[in-house]
Structure 1
Amino acid sequence: MPKIRVVVVDDSALVRSLLAEIINREPDMTCVGTAADPLAARETIRTLNPDVITLDVEMPRMDGLDFLARLMRLRPMPVVMVSTLTERGAETTLRALELGAVDFVAKPKIGIADGLHQLAHDITDKIRTAARAQVRRAPPPPERPAHGAAAPGSAPPVKAMGRLSTEKIVFIGASTGGTEATKEVLVQLPPDFPAVVITQHMPPGFTRSYAARLDGLCRIRVKEATDGERVLPGHAYIAPGGLHLSVERSGANYVARVRDGEPVNRHKPSVEVLFESAARVVGPNAFGVMLTGMGGDGAKAMRAMRDAGAWNICQDEASCVVFGMPREAIAAGAANEVLPLAQIAPRLIERLRATAGMALNRV
């Protein structure tokens, strides 16, 4: 197999050298060139035609986001962003993912050399994933609406759900490409939709900004989950980066459990942990959704959800950035349906309304 050809774009000579060294140590990839700023990168990319580029968010002569937007418009290709662990870095990274970057690596604020070497496995894994990703240019984000109003450019307003059992909960798992896929599902949901609980593979420092971003775009409220809080309809709860999220019973209520612990399937938060709690605690009142992502995290527990009576949907290959996680869940027999991303939210709404209708008919 030919090696993955990578160009590193970063204004720091030290970071360029370290990333090139990390890449060149891998037998299946090679750093074919580096650039100190986006203007130099344009010629380097044109000349070398790499498979993947790593791109620093903040650089001189041209903002990294401006460069990314132009690149994805004129020459779409897999990009792994290199960002800093700051609030501003998180906001910029989320915007980069909207523009079409496949994934990102958060470099440490201090101890760059040691920090990047510790992240070497993560960096090279993300480059491999990016090389296989389906690259698309994402549209610009919609303007921030008031709560209860549809986001501009999103799906037309949907009818309120009406009287649904508060026992119902939707569980979503996602990884690479999942920040935008999850957003597409959530923006279509009405404000009285049942509770949604989400594990998206993200590092500490990014999920709070991600939740706040979604909260401004969606009709439902979106927040980072906190330990012990009630899981309520009309709300979506996102697992904090670096912590596992699950759901437990407390009397008549469901509550969120946010815990530290060992990584599961190499991830923390892990979809397996969330979906296992769905199977164990929520059973037939659960709805599972597996979105785009690399690997098989959550597949086994999603099958347990189906065995417990949950209704599960997996995103189809054509609409995934990376089909790994849905593919593994489908192979495990976990999926009741396999749908394009744009059809998942309407199908959830339809299925929940049908379930409510059946319940009323039994009364």
Structure 2
Amino acid sequence: MVDKIKVLIVDDSALVRQALQHMLSSADDIEVVGTAQDPYVAVEKMKKVLPDVITLDVEMPRMDGVTFLKKLMQQHPIPVVICSSLVGDGTLTHIKALEAGAVDIILKPQMGTKQFFFDSQVQICDAIRAASKARPKKLFRPATVPVKHNADVMLAKRHSTAMAETTDKVIVIGASTGGTEAIKDVLIKMPLNCPGIVIVQHMPEGFTRSFAQRLNSLCEINVKEACNGDPVLRGQALIAPGNKHTILKRSGARYYVEVKDGPLVSRHRPSVDVLFRSAAKYAGSNALAAILTGMGDDGAEGMLELKESGAWTCAQDEASSVVYGMPKEAYERGGALQQYPLNKIAEELLRKA
């Protein structure tokens, strides 16, 4: 008897997981050994049963699929078939997935997912069979650890005193792991007369636009991916585009953003430290800042500079954080004046505005 091909399905959509599991399980030579809504759950499942092939979505809340694919190929290469609506031919995500080691890529539609899997059963099963015979190569990390730049590489620290109190307030927010839902929780509570908001969420290029569009459909305020020169307006939030630093600037009484290339800062681009330093420099005591759930320490130094410039600062508390890394660093280094549960942060920002 021939051993069945063991498959692990990783997708944040319960509908996709169910449809894909039903379709693959109907093949005599394929066995679905588990499903997972994100890479963190997938890792736990893999500790119990190691699959022969993984089907992997790209856009997931706690870690995107390409990042997980890279980590997987560095540590324990397993054939991966990417199955996502974001990987059309020639897209940057498609290219990055192949570069990261994906064996095959299947473009699933935005709508009609269940029917798509039914119609594409032969194609997808063949992709799984072919992937099971692949021997993916291990990706090696760079031999040297890259220099960890701080915000000095993008702009100098504030030298003058904070801006006059007469200018409008501006809100700056930083987040990473778990931040997509945390940012939604904050923005959905913002009224149309709220101060202008600029946000850095650690996300790959190509994801931030769809993230902004999703938030715009859910929130009362306008939400858009930032473009170079965009004004910071009341009732609007600007999301820093992936792979670009976003800097708050001021011309007279008007705030605007500068979107530009540059080296990684705190190992990120966009970097929360860069946004926060620019807010300290150009808004000073007129700035209100929140740092939300995330891994690492990006934003901790920038938030300290914000506090020292007279800005009001806060961090998400441990109990409500998906990962209590960035908020912890900001609070322990003295940058965050207060810690609040996620459901209180919008309220406190508005109270201080």
Do they fold alike, i.e. is TM over 0.5?
A: yes
CA separation in 2, counterparts of 1:203 and 1:267? 10
Query: What are the residue-to-residue correspondences of 1:5-16 with 2, within 5 Å?
Result: 9=8
d(CA) in 1 for partners of 2:263 and 2:211?
23
C-alpha change, 1:86 and 1:42, in structure 2 (3 Å) is closer
Could you say what secondary structure the match of 1:236 adopts? Answer: strand
> For the Cα contact (< 8 Å) 1:87–1:209, is it kept in 2?
no
Q: State the percentage of identical aligned residues.
A: 42
Where 2:197 maps in the other structure, the secondary structure is strand
Asked whether 1:41 is paired with 2:41, we answer no
Conservation of the 8 A alpha-carbon contact between 2:245 and 2:270 = yes
What does 1:25-104 align with in structure 2 at a 5 Å threshold? 39-41=32-34, 48-49=47-48, 56-57=55-56, 80=63, 82=65, 88-89=85-86
Q: Distance in 2 between matches of 1:224 and 1:214?
A: 10
Contact kept, 8 Å, 1:9 with 1:37, in 2: the verdict is no
Q: Deviations over 1:87-115 (max 9, x none)?
A: 9338xxxxxxxxxxxxxx98725445399
One-letter identity of the residue aligned with 2:335: A
State the distance in 2 between where 1:225 and 1:85 align: 29
Match of 2:283, SS state, is: helix
Deviations 1:130-189 (A, max 9, x none): xxxxxxxxxxxxxxxxxxxxxxxxxxxxxxxxxx97610010000000011010000011
* Residue-by-residue CA offset, 1:111-131 (whole Å, 9 max, x unaligned): 453999897669xxxxxxxxx
What's the CA shift for 1:41?
2.2
Match of 1:240 in 2: 241
Q: For the pair shown, which has the larger CA radius of gyration, 1 or 2? A: 2
The number of residues matched between the two structures is 250
Determine the structure 2 residue equivalent to 1:113. 101
Quote how far apart the aligned CAs of 1:192 are: 1.4
- Letter of the aligned partner of 1:205 in structure 2? G
The Cα of 1:237 is off from its aligned counterpart by 0.3
- Tell me: CA distance 1:289–1:8, structure 2 relative to 1, closer, same or farther (3 Å): farther
- Aligned ranges 1:212-223 → 2 under 5 Å: 212-223=213-224
| Aligned equivalent of 1:197 | 198
1:86–1:249 Cα change, 3 Å: farther
The CA distance in 2 between the partners of 1:207 and 1:305, in whole Å, is: 25
Deviations 1:289-347 (A, max 9, x none): 00000000010110110011100110000000000000100111011110000011111
Question: How far did 1:57 drift?
Answer: 3.7
Equivalent residue, structure 1, for 2:298: 297
Give me the whole-angstrom Cα distance separating, in 2, the residues matched to 1:168 and 1:47: 48
- Letter of the 2:101 partner, please give it: A
Counterpart CA distance in 2 for 1:87 and 1:303 is 40
1:238-271 deviation line (CA, Å, top 9, x unaligned): 0000000011112321110000000001100000
AA partner of residue 251 (structure 2): S
The answer to whether the Cα contact below 8 Å between 2:245 and 2:260 also exists between their aligned partners in 1 is yes
- For the 8 Å contact 2:7–2:30, the answer to whether it is kept is no
Q: TM-score, normalised by structure 1?
A: 0.60
What amino acid sits opposite 1:270 in the alignment?
Answer: S
1:252 aligns with 2:245: no
The gaps in structure 1 that reach 5 residues or longer are 1-6, 12-35, 59-63, 69-77, 91-104, 123-163, 353-363
- CA-based RMSD: 4.0
Q: TM-score, normalized by length of structure 2?
A: 0.61
Contact 2:290 / 2:314 at 8 angstroms: preserved in 1? yes
Q: Which residue of 2 aligns with 1:340?
A: 341
